[in-house]
Structure 1
Amino acid sequence: MRVVLSAYDSRGGVEPLVGLAVRLRELGAEVRVCAPPDEEFEKRLAAVGVAMVPTGQSVRDLVTGRTPPAPGGIARRAADLVAAFHENVTAAAEGADVLVATGLVPAVAGVKSAAETLGVPYVYVSYQPVSLPSPHHPPIPRPGRPLPPEVTDNAVLWERDAEDAQAVFGEAVNGHRASVGLPPVDDVRDHVFTDRPWLASDPVLAPWRQPAGLDVVQTGAWVLPDERPLPADLLAFLDAGEPPVYVGFGSIPMRDPQELARVVTESVRAHGRRVVLSRGWADLALADDRDDCFVIGEVNHQALFRRVAAVVHHGGAGTTTTATWSGAPQVIVPQGADQPYFAARVAELGIGAAHDGPTPTVESLTAALGTALAPEARVRAGAVAGAFHADGAEVAAKLLFETVGRTPSA
């Protein structure tokens, strides 16, 4: 069986495809991944022997502002993404049996069009339940289109979300579809989601609630055990004292990184703890030259999170999933999108704290850390980790074989 996986997303959106790709190969499938041309994605996929087809612009350059605004703004970028993913996925999927897509709507729409062009099955995947229409939660606000505060009916908000998606992406999607001989669609969102989307999240951390209008298939999170050793200097720091607190904000370009580093360092020190500070895409750096802080780049988070007292982060699906699986208490400082949802879930599960708002102060973060560093949070985090469904990628891989009527060869 041949499978093409695609994502236009940050590291947290590409990493689950690594897990799925490895499980598919173990079952005898041939796999290719279409993803942004960022070096870290190419290295990660190369490390597990999976072919990658660079597609679209660099996500890191786009997020950090290195890519200048395009003439025509969002509409132009959307049109470029639709075209790039349709062209590259169509080429990569010659002889493929099924296409799997996640990430930004225009990129996914390009994959959906490729599936129609090739006449092969297509599966849409979300990593969090709140991006899928449901009466149990409101939609995530789209850029420049905040939810009307006077509307509290989730069904009405989801109707508006479909209208917003069509208004923002409809012209780009339908313009491209016309150029490749496909009919227009009047509901881009539901067109790409389909009526049977997959949800690749852990059912304890991020459950799907029924009833809802969609036939959602929750597979569990797509995780892959990371066997990479931690760097020797980081191991030496960890071994030199009590477990430190990890602080990192992943692919989020945080405002005033220097001030943020000061705030998080002082907050952690207020609890008598050391700091492991991840540079991330915000390029965080040490606040001073004291020896109780250590800065890291790309490392094995699974191994590191099992060695720390708590994890302070932005609340993306990837980091929250890894921290939960690792049994580490968390403090989530949500910046937007699905992050407030994961912050709320961490608080509800009793495995940490949800910071109130995106900009921490020493006082607010010190208080949140007090919750996460309490003994009961550590005990609860361990219990939730013990209930984590670590076989989600294997479940999804077997479902893909069933989808196309194939039998795994391994």
Structure 2
Amino acid sequence: MRILFSSTPAHGHLLPQLPLARAFRERGDEVAVLTAAGYESLLVAEQIPLLPVGPEMPALLEEAVRRTGADDPTVPDPAVAAELFAGARVDLTADAALAAAREFGPDLIVAEATDYVGPLVAAALEVPYAKLAFGPLLPAEFTDVFDAVAERRFKERGLTPPVPSWYLDPCPELLQSPGWQPPRGHLPLRPEAHQGSRTPESVPTTPRATGGAKPKVLLSFGTVFAEPAVLRPVIDALAPEADLVVTLGLTATAADYGDGLDHVEFVGFTPLAELLRGIDLVVTHGGAGTTLGTISRGLPMVVVPQGADQFVQAAAVAGARAGVAVPPSAGPEDVVRAVTEVLGSTEYRDNAVRAAEQIAGMPSPREIADLLAAELGGARDK
């Protein structure tokens, strides 16, 4: 079989797809990823071919802001987000994506939840597609606008937006919104902390940090939001209370955070599975991959959302009492208070462990790959 994954060009959208892509590859299926060219080195390490199409995220965001006239693109705005994911990206990517996909000849397209290029290709090529979520269901106030913008782009090409045959859901029940109902074609899919090209069996489980005078805290605001100006006050406030490991994102260096930080461990882009070893608690912006990867190890969190869907993750973690959400407008002392609260109560860790147990009971990527392949094979035999 030939499986084509399609992703918005952003680490937080692509990385959660890789466990399932690996599972198909390990079955012997032919796998490729459709996204911007900047992810070639990451996919080469995964031994997964890239079909490079469309602009990178900064160019897409610039175009979405230009089209909508937004003053501050960091403020969550359904109109800007819809133009980014379903307007500008489709306009600037669809033709190249269709050409590349026709040459690849997929039997199935797997598209992450905010990717509309994959569904457009699926509609044009008349092949089934699976939608892969990367966290709790996004609010309708966003997705309804996304879908309306995408529908216009589809109609311009004589296409109807396809209904996904499967909704692949990595979110454990404990983190789902109250009253949540499974969408059509719902299949739970066990999420994994990003591990690079290593297999799950080669990444040890995360033990509780022991032996140090202070708790060990990972401060990670992902690949995009790790701004030194934002993180330095938090580092200064937390350092007296915890041994800190701080991720640098994709472009920053330790020097960008200023002087007097010899007591802080800075790390460049590193698989989350490695970063979580020996950690007591994670302070994060609430990216979906970081949130589910951390929860899968039974670790509590303090979530300080900065934008995008991070407010959804923050609300889910706080609602499950697996951590505390701190508004981005709060000061570093509020982050310290939240860290102290989470570390001082077993409730948060107990709930994180409950969520991890739910995740462990979900079907693995290989099980889902086998199931989808069997259903596709059956459909072709009819």
* TM-score greater than 0.5 by the shorter chain: yes
Aligned residues: 348
1:266 aligns with 2:243: no
Aligned-partner SS, 2:369? helix
Inter-partner Cα distance in structure 2 for 1:344 and 1:353:
9
Could you tell me which of 184, 190, 201 is aligned with 2:170? 201
Inter-partner Cα distance in structure 2 for 1:82 and 1:385:
38
Residue in 2 aligned with 1:323?
A: 294
CA contact (8 A) 1:31 1:51 kept: yes
CA contact (8 A) 1:127 1:221 kept: no
Letter in 2 for 1:173: F
Letter in 1 for 2:44: A
| CA spacing shift, 1:329–1:335, aligned 2, 3 Å | same
| CA spacing shift, 1:297–1:225, aligned 2, 3 Å | closer
Could you tell me which of 350, 367, 371 is aligned with 1:399? 371
List per-residue Cα deviations over 1:327-385 (Å, max 9, x = no partner): 22211112234322221222233322111x22341221111111222251334434432
TM-score (normalizing by structure 2): 0.78
Could you tell me which of 244, 257, 280 is aligned with 2:249? 280
Residue in 2 aligned with 1:49?
A: 47
| CA spacing shift, 1:224–1:130, aligned 2, 3 Å | closer
Residue in 1 aligned with 2:95?
A: 83
| CA spacing shift, 1:220–1:202, aligned 2, 3 Å | farther
Residue in 2 aligned with 1:297?
A: 268
**TM-aligned CA deviation for residue 70 of structure 1:** 8.4
Letter in 1 for 2:23: R
Residue in 2 aligned with 1:23?
A: 23
Aligned-partner SS, 2:37? coil
1:101 aligns with 2:71: no
Residue in 2 aligned with 1:172?
A: 153
| CA spacing shift, 1:306–1:171, aligned 2, 3 Å | same
Inter-partner Cα distance in structure 1 for 2:213 and 2:245:
12
What does 1:355-366 align with in structure 2 at a 5 Å threshold? 355=326, 357-366=327-336
**TM-aligned CA deviation for residue 320 of structure 1:** 0.4
Inter-partner Cα distance in structure 1 for 2:150 and 2:363:
35
1:58 aligns with 2:56: yes
| 220-229 or 119-128, larger mean C-alpha shift | 220-229
Inter-partner Cα distance in structure 1 for 2:20 and 2:351:
29
1:313 aligns with 2:284: yes
Inter-partner Cα distance in structure 2 for 1:322 and 1:211:
21
| 308-317 or 113-122, larger mean C-alpha shift | 113-122
Aligned-partner SS, 1:130? coil
Inter-partner Cα distance in structure 1 for 2:53 and 2:220:
27
Inter-partner Cα distance in structure 2 for 1:129 and 1:56:
27
| 288-297 or 317-326, larger mean C-alpha shift | 288-297
TM-score (normalizing by structure 1): 0.73
